[in-house]
Amino acid sequence: MTDLWNYRPDAKATDVDLVGYDVEATDGHIGTIDDSSAEFDDAYLVVDTGFWIFGKKRVIPARAVKQINVDDEKVFIDMTKEQVEGAPDHHADWRDPEHRGVMGAYFAPFIY
């Protein structure tokens, strides 16, 4: 499932720092990017959902990104608000292989 942690070829991923960009789900705004990586096999977004789901942060695998609009500073993902809300909480050990597996199992059905 390493593809989950890489951008789609058509996502137009750039070398631009995405921190601060707005994130749009298929059904509306979900938050802003707090951290991101474009590293091969480890690309992700950490999205701060603000008050929408009580200030929770979610790690979104890069594969979910369908478009990056640099001019408007927006990232569009191929998930609904409900799917993002149901994702595992972001916490310090999210890179742990076991937790990565849990996240992969959650996201894969929505993204592939």
**CB of 82 closer than 8 Å to CB of 106:** no
pTM of the model: 0.90
How many residues are there in the chain?
112
Binning pLDDT at 50, 70 and 90, where does residue 89 land? Answer: confident
Q: Token pair of 70, please?
A: 């640099």
48-69 pLDDT, tens digit per residue, is 988 766 678 999 999 999 999 9
Domain boundaries defined on the chain: 2-111
Element (H, E) at 2: none
What pLDDT is recorded for position 28? 96
What's the chain's average pLDDT?
88
Task: Tell me which CATH homologous superfamily contains domain 2-111.
Answer: PRC-barrel domain (2.30.30.240)
